[in-house]
Amino acid sequence: MEIALNDLGVRPERIDTVANFEAVARYGVKGDGNMAGASAQTLEVLAGLIAAKELELPIARTYSLAEVGTAYAQLAKGHIRGKIVLIP
């Protein structure tokens, strides 16, 4: 099921992708800071640090893409311990 960007209820400039760089040009979403560390080598180092428990990446909650409005409402409340992750 594909969801149209307009149906998400979130302005495109508030969306930041870490995986779909084509979406930056196509939809006007952000891709801030991704290119500096976007390499298989960087991912391998980070995954190794996480596996060795030397780096923690706390996930506060995951939401389906259909729940993006709820996710942003939670984010807007602030004081979140961890990342909010949208899953397609």
Q: What is the pLDDT of residues 1-21, one digit of tens each?
A: 566 777 778 888 888 877 777
Higher pLDDT, 54 or 31: 54
Alpha helices (runs of H) in 1-88, residue ranges in sequence order: 22-27, 34-37, 40-51, 68-77
Q: What is the pLDDT of residue 34?
A: 56
pLDDT exceeds cutoff 90 at 52: yes
pLDDT exceeds cutoff 90 at 32: no
List C-alpha distances in Å: 12 to 1, 31, 70, 77: 20, 11, 16, 20
CA 44/CA 56 separation, integer angstroms: 15
Which residue, chain included where needed, has tokens 């939670």?
Answer: 74
Nearest-CA neighbor of 19 among 44, 1, 37, 4?
37
Q: What is the pLDDT of residue 79?
A: 84
Q: Is the pTM of this model over 0.75?
A: no
